[in-house]
Amino acid sequence: MEAKTEISVQKLEASHLSSLSSLERNCFPGWYWTEEQILSHFESQQGIGIFHKSENFADKILCYVLYLENAWEIEILRIGTDPNYRRKNYASQCLRNLIQENSSKTILLEVDANNSKAIQLYTKHGFQFVDKRKAYYENGNDAHLFMRQGLLQ
């Protein structure tokens, strides 16, 4: 009999450190956050993930978003999808959930100007280019600042 599978969006926390850390390494080779950085993020800040539940295996995190939040805005710091599960709308699902749960807040993020996949993802979800930071990244690439205005701003 085929195992039943289920996808859900869940809050991430320090207990997810081990799977999150290996996902982070796969998504950002060369500039990933260390376990210490991830743990320190969860001391005061948030994250959500797409979980793949299966009857036969432990839950697997397919996609994650780590962000800073205050009363007015959210800043996305990390977003990544397991390389084996890309282009299946998981990052979209994560972003949609974040937007719906925080509809009054403005959402901000910085992205490498050469990261066209991520830029297409943000544009698709209503983010607009607002500014550029020249040679912002270690590799000399510019950062582009994108914003999605909250309903009450």
Q: How far is CA 58 from CA 2, 6, 39, in A?
A: 16, 12, 22
Residue closest to 123 by CA, chosen among 91, 82, 77: 91
Q: Which is nearer to ligand COA, 66 or 105 (CB)?
A: 66
Q: Which is nearer to ligand COA, 83 or 104 (CB)?
A: 83
Rounded to whole angstroms, how far apart are CA atoms 63 and 40? 20
DSSP 6: E
Instruction: Find the radius of gyration of the CA atoms of the chain.
Output: 16
Give the total of residues touching ligand COA (CB under 6 A): 20
Q: Which is nearer to ligand COA, 68 or 118 (CB)?
A: 118
Residues in contact with ligand COA, shown as a per-residue x/- string from 6 to 45 under the rule CB under 6 A: ---------------------xx-----------------
Residues in contact with ligand COA, shown as a per-residue x/- string from 92 to 131 under the rule CB under 6 A: x------------------x---x-xx-xx--x-------
Q: Which of 53, 60, 86, 141 binds ligand COA (CB under 6 A)?
A: 86
Question: To the nearest whole angstrom, how small is the minimum distance from the Cβ of residue 1 to ligand COA?
Answer: 29
Q: What is the DSSP string of 35-99?
A: HHHHHHHHHH-EEEEEEEEESSS--EEEEEEEEEE-SSEEEEEEEEE-GGGTTSSHHHHHHHHHH
Q: Which is nearer to ligand COA, 56 or 100 (CB)?
A: 100
- Residues lying near ligand COA in the complex (CB under 6 A): 27-28, 63, 79-81, 86-92, 111, 115, 117-118, 120-121, 124
